Amino acid sequence: MALIEVRDLEKIYKTGEVETRALRGVSFDIEKGEFVAVMGPSGSGKSTLLHMLGFLDTHTSGTYKFDGKKFTEYSEDERAHLRNKKMGFVFQTFNLLPRLSTIENVKLPLMYSDVPEKEWNERAKAALEAVEMGHRLDHLAFKLSGGEKQRVAMARALVNEPEVIFADEPTGNLDSKSGEAVMSVLQSLNEDMGHTVILITHETYTAQYSERILELFDGELAKDFKVKNRNSIKDGHFKK
Amino acid sequence: MKIKHTIRSATGGLKVHKSRSALTVLGILIGIAAIIMMVSLGGGAEGLIVGELGGLGAETIVVRPGQEPTGPADFSNTLFADSIKERDVEALKQKGNVPDLLDIMPAVIVAGSMSYEGETFQPTIMGGDAEFIAAAFDVYPVEGYAFGEDEIQQNADVVVIGDRVREELFADSSAVGEFVKVNQRKMRVIGVLPPKGQVAVLNVDSLAIVPHTTAQTYLSGRDYYNQLIIKISDPKHVDRAVVDIERTMRISHGITDPDDDDFYVETQQGIVEQVSTILGALTVLVSSIAAIALVVGGVGVMNIMLVSVAERTKEIGLRKSLGATNKDISRQFLIESILLAASGGLIGIILGSTFSFLVFLIVSNYFLPGWTYVFPVGAAVLGFTVSSIVGLIFGIYPAKQAAKKSPIEALRYE
């Protein structure tokens, strides 16, 4: 059984009288442990798809099964718990709470979980060390550089050891060096720690860090293929 | 999320906008401060008034002629009524009539002036028993002595004066033994009272006490009394003594229907109750003003919470994406609103009690030495609770608005 099963998924936005069909019947499966990139030009529906997969938004028709259970069968609270325990999000704009310290930002998902409080510090520290931010625990988030912010955001995404990490244009606001660092972390999360990673990007170069690409065009799935020449950065050395 | 962490997030939210939070709670602050001040100052005033009126002691009962006044204009009846005479005193003195009676003093109030070597002053000239007054008002002569039964029997021309009278007529020279003219009659000053101020309805300092027999015979030329002051043996038996006094007076006056009474009996308890009633009415008035201030303050809190929810749309979305349930979100904003309002209440309590303490310091030092400071513990607890409840009530709507936001709409918000 696939972790994610999508069948004929549709999403229609209504703005007054105008209907926008952001997704027009998309179907695919994603297995546990995959690293998938969703590509497409802006307006192709890739962000809409990610919001749906990440339980942040509802679909109009079709079915979406996560862990063998339909989205519509989860209650509102169960969706929140699922986002908390099984999903981690990395956003283009980082979305850290600026007045909290690095470690407090990472602790946020733990506060909404059933992890006992005495483990919070240890787990948040471990997550920050995994993204090489262990030296900046008490820095206020708004004082960090863009690359550092995104790494903190990744620590926040993985602190609850989720099954899937959703990354929505994670390199979009970063310079190429910081972007590469972020991609290398995502790759190691997938390869070394076994997290499923779903990446949204419009750059082919960034998409090639993944092992499979879903290409969207005008709300439809145009292509679904394996990446042949994957980008890879290991231990700071760029490999191709 | 545990309540502890929710509170921490909520205080964080408030700290970001310190001055805005401070301005928002102003309404609640004013409302609570008003309540605290009113209760504190009202308590002090009540203590003072009750203390003064009660200066005569609960064991003191006053019988006045005429009908009981229902308003200020009625008091003239009391001054000119002539229904209380010596036979009433004799009747009341009989042990069988009023067993609780310990002592009785008829009093005569005479209008007039007093002069000494060209200085003139208009004291309250009271015909009575100086020893009785000294004991009743707890004011004993600092110089000379108080006259008693002997001087009263002899219609003696003696006078005991209050501190203000002494100061006006004698300034720094000695008064005892000097002769003064009271309404053209020569009298000897035999005692001077210490400064005492107001006791019950009398200002002791401007009192000139002469034997009531002297007052009746030489000063007023009247055979009736303006009041009878009665001391009973035990203040617990006031009600019983009042019944006995009324019955004795009615027999003495030949009255069968209490509606025809040409006298009335005043107890200290009755006066204290009247004052409490007036202060109670004032309390209700100020409380309703404070309640309006609290409602206005609550609307202010709601307004600012709605602004805060709108501003933090993105934070709400993020928290939801990290696993916050609707309940977590609404609770965070609700607690923020309660903390906001409750801190306003707390500051109001501090400011209100500080201000009323300052008023107490000024009043007690310069105007009314008997004023006491009361920290209203009950009102403080109530004020804190009420402000928290205001925060809760006016926080519900913004908190629901916050919880209703869809995570994706919230995350997209810039």
Mean pLDDT of chain A: 89
On whether the CB atoms of residues B112 and B184 are closer than 8 A, the answer is no
Give chain B positions within 8 Å (CB) of A15. none
Residues A63-68 have a mean pLDDT of: 93
Could you give phi then psi for residue B222, rounded to 5 degrees?
-115, 155
Q: How many residues appear in chain B? A: 414
Does residue B2 carry a pLDDT above 90?
Answer: no
Shortest CA gap A46–chain B (Å): 14
Does residue B51 carry a pLDDT above 70?
Answer: no
Could you give phi then psi for residue B230, rounded to 5 degrees?
-120, 135
Measured between CA atoms, the residue of chain B closest to residue A50 is B408
Does residue A19 carry a pLDDT above 70?
Answer: yes
Place of tokens 């720690």: A193
Closest to A11 measured CA to CA, from A3, A19, A23, A1: A23
| pLDDT at residue A238 in the model | 42
Positive or negative torsion for Cα B189, B194, B197, B199? negative
For the stretch B224-233, pLDDT in tens is: 888 898 988 8
CA angle B163, B207, B179 (to 5 degrees): 75
DSSP class of residue B69?
A: P
Does residue B71 carry a pLDDT above 60?
Answer: no
Share of chain A above pLDDT 90, in %: 55
Looking only at the bridges linking them, the beta strands covering A232-234 and A237-239 are: antiparallel
Place of tokens 């001391």: B231
Residues B236-254 have a mean pLDDT of: 88
Residues B378-385 have a mean pLDDT of: 90
Q: Which range, A61-75, B127-141, B161-175, B369-383, has the best average confidence (pLDDT)? A: A61-75
B350 at A interface, C-beta within 8 A: no
| pLDDT at residue B234 in the model | 81
What confidence category does residue B54 fall into, taking pLDDT thresholds of 50, 70 and 90?
Answer: low
Residues B7-24 have a mean pLDDT of: 80
Share of chain A above pLDDT 70, in %: 97
- CB atoms A95 and B314 under 8 Å: yes
- Listed by number, the residues of chain B in 324-343 with a beta carbon closer than 8 Å to a beta carbon of chain A are 324-328
Does residue B272 carry a pLDDT above 80?
Answer: no
| pLDDT at residue B76 in the model | 54
Nearest to A83 among B5, B322, B406 (CB): B322
Tokens for B5, please give them: 């962490």
Residues B325-341 have a mean pLDDT of: 92
Residues A107-120 have a mean pLDDT of: 91
Mean pLDDT of chain B: 85
**Which residue out of A55, A108, A115, A165 would a mutagenesis test of the B interface target, given it has the greatest number of B Cβ atoms within 10 Å?**
A108
Report d(CA B315, CA B411) in Å as an integer. 8
What confidence category does residue B53 fall into, taking pLDDT thresholds of 50, 70 and 90?
Answer: low
Nearest to A57 among B322, B325, B406 (CB): B406
| pLDDT at residue B412 in the model | 75
- CB atoms A109 and B323 under 8 Å: yes
Give the ipTM of the model, two decimals please: 0.90
Does residue B394 carry a pLDDT above 90?
Answer: yes
| pLDDT at residue A156 in the model | 94
Could you give phi then psi for residue B74, rounded to 5 degrees?
-75, -10
A113 at B interface, C-beta within 8 A: yes
Residues whose CB is less than 8 angstroms from the CB of residue A147 and which lie 6 or more positions away in sequence, other chains included: A174, A175, A177, A178, A179, A181, A182
Does residue B52 carry a pLDDT above 80?
Answer: no
Report d(CA B86, CA B223) in Å as an integer. 8
CB hemisphere CA count around B362 (13 angstroms): 6
For the stretch B129-146, pLDDT in tens is: 988 888 887 888 988 999
Report d(CA B47, CA B366) in Å as an integer. 17
Does residue A64 carry a pLDDT above 90?
Answer: yes
Does residue A239 carry a pLDDT above 50?
Answer: no
DSSP code per residue over B35-63: HHHHHHHHHHHHHHHHHHHGGG-TTEEEE
Report d(CA A21, CA A27) in Å as an integer. 16
Q: Which range, A119-133, B91-105, B366-380, B386-400, has the best average confidence (pLDDT)? A: B386-400
- CB atoms A112 and B2 under 8 Å: no
Lowest mean pLDDT among A67-81, B70-84, B317-331: B70-84
> Which amino acid does the sequence have at B218?
Y
Report d(CA B56, CA B43) in Å as an integer. 20
pTM above 0.80, yes or no: no
- CB atoms B408 and A100 under 8 Å: no
Does residue B77 carry a pLDDT above 60?
Answer: no
Does residue B345 carry a pLDDT above 90?
Answer: yes
On whether the CB atoms of residues B191 and B139 are closer than 8 A, the answer is no
In terms of pLDDT, which residue wins out, B168 or A233?
A: B168
Using DSSP's 3-state secondary structure scheme, residue B65 falls into: strand
DSSP code per residue over A66-118: ETTEEGGGS-HHHHHHHHHHTEEEE-TT----TTSBHHHHHHHHHHTSSS-GG
Report d(CA B117, CA B180) in Å as an integer. 8
Helices then strands (H, E): number in chain A? 7, 12
Shortest CA gap B408–chain A (Å): 6
**Which residue out of B8, B321, B406 would a mutagenesis test of the A interface target, given it has the greatest number of A Cβ atoms within 10 Å?**
B321
A173 at B interface, C-beta within 8 A: no
Q: Which string of b and e fits B229-262 if b means at least 16 CB within 10 Å?
A: bbbbeebeebeebbebbbebbbebbebeeeeebb
Does residue B238 carry a pLDDT above 50?
Answer: yes
Closest to A111 measured CA to CA, from B335, B329, B326, B2: B2
Measured between CA atoms, the residue of chain A closest to residue B414 is A93
> Which amino acid does the sequence have at B247?
R
For the stretch A195-231, pLDDT in tens is: 999 999 988 888 999 999 999 999 999 999 998 888 8
Residues B251-259 have a mean pLDDT of: 86
DSSP class of residue B218?
A: I
For the stretch B183-204, pLDDT in tens is: 888 999 999 999 887 776 678 8
**Which residue out of B322, B329, B405, B406 would a mutagenesis test of the A interface target, given it has the greatest number of A Cβ atoms within 10 Å?**
B322
Could you give phi then psi for residue B55, rounded to 5 degrees?
-60, -25
What confidence category does residue B179 fall into, taking pLDDT thresholds of 50, 70 and 90?
Answer: very high
> Please, which residues bridge with residue B114 across strands?
B121, B182
- Listed by number, the residues of chain A in 43-102 with a beta carbon closer than 8 Å to a beta carbon of chain B are 51, 54, 56-57, 76-77, 80-81, 83-85, 89, 91, 95, 97, 99-100
Count CB atoms within 10 A of the CB of residue A16.
Answer: 5
Does residue B396 carry a pLDDT above 90?
Answer: yes
Nearest to A80 among B2, B314, B324 (CB): B324
- CB atoms B322 and A109 under 8 Å: yes
What confidence category does residue B79 fall into, taking pLDDT thresholds of 50, 70 and 90?
Answer: low
B99 at A interface, C-beta within 8 A: no
Give chain A positions within 8 Å (CB) of B311. none
**Which residue out of A53, A56, A160 would a mutagenesis test of the B interface target, given it has the greatest number of B Cβ atoms within 10 Å?**
A56
